[in-house]
């Protein structure tokens, strides 16, 4: 059986991500197989900097991230398959899957070319009930 939570509890869990990330967190995009949570990273494709505050308060079980600064020059070429959110001091916060649909982090195109700009124009995290 799956757990169902109130919107207030789902929002609180999402707001805890904002608190854990702190100011100017980094979103790193990687290729390859996602490791165990917080495990050794694979090939770094790009690193983008989040805003001074990751997101405003969650609403309806959805956390909508504030603007994310583009990476003006990707580190490597490849297909982004997972991402890691770290604090500004590089402390691990969370890992997530990356894709073009149905992933934790969806991108218009998750194919990245070395030296090219990488932008995320909007991002949400959802704490959904079944």
At residue 95, the 3 state secondary structure works out as strand
Where does the chain show beta strands of DSSP type E?
26-30, 44-50, 62-64, 68-69, 78-79, 82-86, 92-99, 105-106, 111-112, 124-126
Tell me if 128 sits within 8 A of 63, measured CB to CB.
no
Is the whole-model pTM more than 0.85? Answer: yes
* 88 phi/psi in degrees, rounded to 5: -60, -25
What pLDDT, in 10s, does the model give residues 14-48? 999 999 999 999 999 999 999 999 999 999 999 99
Structure tokens at 5: 């939570």
pLDDT tens-digit profile of 41-99?
999 999 999 999 999 999 999 999 999 999 999 999 999 999 999 999 999 999 999 98
């Amino acid at each position: 059986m799956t757990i169902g939570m109130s919107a207030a509890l789902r929002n609180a869990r999402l707001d805890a991500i904002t608190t854990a990330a702190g100011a100017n967190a980094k979103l790193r995009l990687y290729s390859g197989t996602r490791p165990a949570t917080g495990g050794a990273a694979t090939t770094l494709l790009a690193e983008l900097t989040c805003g001074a505050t990751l997101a405003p308060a969650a609403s309806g079980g959805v956390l909508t991230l504030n603007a994310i600064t583009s990476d003006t020059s990707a580190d490597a070429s490849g297909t982004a398959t997972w991402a890691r959110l770290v604090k500004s001091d590089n402390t691990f916060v969370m890992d997530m899957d990356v894709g073009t649909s149905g992933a934790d982090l969806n991108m218009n195109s998750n194919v990245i070319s070395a030296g090219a700009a990488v932008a995320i124009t909007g991002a949400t995290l959802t704490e959904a009930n079944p």
